[in-house]
Amino acid sequence: MQLFPFADYWWFYGGFTVFVLLMLAIDLGVFNRKAHVVSFKEATIWSIVWVSLSMIFCFIFYRYSVAKFGPEIATTVALEFLTGYVIEYSLSIDNIFVFVLVFSYFGIPPEYKHRVLFFGILGALIFRAAFIAMGSALMQFHWVIYIFGGFLIVTGIKMVFSDNEEIEPEKNFLIRLFKRFMPVTHEISGKDFFVRKSGKIYATPLFIALLFLEATDIIFAVDSVPAIFAITREPIIVFTSNIFAILGLRSMYFMLAGVIGKFHLLKYGLAIVLVFVGLKMVWLNDLFGGKFPIMWSLGIIVGVISVSIIASLLFPLRQGDDGPQPLNP
C-alpha cells in the first residue's frame, strides 16, 4: 500500500511539474538567454543551486511526512529520497562520458552546448516521467521485481567487462529513421536546430546531436528507473529524486567535462551499485523481512561511489593506458 497514491496527490505532481518548468524557464530565459561558454565557476554555482534545492525539498518532504505519518515513517521517506537521489546523480555521471564524445563527434561549439543540453534534459524529463509511470504500474506485479532485479545484476556485470565503445550516430535507428523524412545539413548555423535553404527545411548538426542524446537517455533510463524502484515503491519519491538529479546534470557536465577522464575506476563503482540494488530486489529485501534497511543502503551506495572516485585519483591512469569510455552497458 502506497503512502502517497496518485489519486490523492495529483495536485503535488502538477505543482512539482510547474515548479520544474518555471526553474527551467528562468534558467534559459534569464541566465542563459544569450549563447555563451559556461565557465567552471558558473557551473559550480548552478550545481550548488540544484543540490541545495534538492535538499530543501527533502527537508520539506520530511516535515510534511512527520505531520502526516509520524517521525519514524518520515525518516524512512526522507532517506529513500536521498538514496534515490544519490543513485540517480551517480548514474548521471555515466551520461557525461557520452556528452563529451557526442559534442566532440559533431563538433558542437562550446557556446551552444548549453542549448543542446537544455533541450536534451527537457526531453529526458518527459521520458523519465513515462518510464516511472510504466514502472509504477508494473511493480504492482511481484514477479516484475525479480525481472528488474535480475536485469540490474546482469547490467552491472556487463558494465565491468564491457569493451570500449565508439559513438556512431549514423548507426542509431532513430537518427536513420529521422533522416528518411528530414534532410540534414553539415554546417552549424548558430544556435538554430533547423534552417531553411532554397525553400526547404534542413536539420542542423545541433539537432542531430540532441536527437542522439535523447536516444541514449532512453537507454540510461532503463537502468536508472528500476534502480530507484529497488529503494522505494513510492512513485512520488522515484519521480522527484529522478527529476532533481537530472536537473543538475547540465551544470555537472560543465564542471566535470574537463576532468572526467580522471575517474577511470568510477564505472566499477557504478557496476557494484547496480548489482547491489539488483540483489536488494531479488534477495536482500526478503532476507530482511521485506525491506533491507534504508540507512544501510544509503551508506553502501555512498561508500562505494566515494571509494571508486578516491581510488581513481590515487591510482591515475598511466600514459598509454586506454582512457575511459562511455559506461553504456
pLDDT 10s digits, 23-64: 888 877 777 778 788 888 889 999 999 999 999 999 999 999
Give me the pLDDT at residue 319, please.
58
- Three-class DSSP category at 288: coil
**Which of 58-62, 142-146, 258-262, 267-271 shows the highest mean pLDDT?**
58-62
% of the chain beyond a pLDDT of 70: 94
Q: Which helix (H) or strand (E) holds 301?
A: helix 294-314
User: Pick from 94, 96, 92: which is nearest to 54 by CA?
Assistant: 92
What gap in Å lies between CA 246 and CA 121, rounded to an integer? 7
Q: What pLDDT is attached to residue 167? A: 63
Residue 278 in this model has a pLDDT that exceeds 70 = yes
Q: What is the pLDDT of residue 124?
A: 86
Predicted confidence at residue 233, as pLDDT, reads: 87
How many CB atoms are located within 10 Å of the residue 189 CB? 15
DSSP state of 260: G
| Mean pLDDT computed over 77-100 | 88
Residue written as cell 548552478?
46
Average pLDDT of the chain is 87
- Pull the grid cell for residue 287: 532476507
Q: Is 163's pLDDT higher than 70? A: no
> Which pLDDT does position 221 carry in this prediction?
82
Which pLDDT does position 36 carry in this prediction? 81
Mean per-residue pLDDT, 139-162:
88
100 pLDDT above the threshold of 60: yes
Q: Is the pLDDT of residue 165 over 50?
A: yes
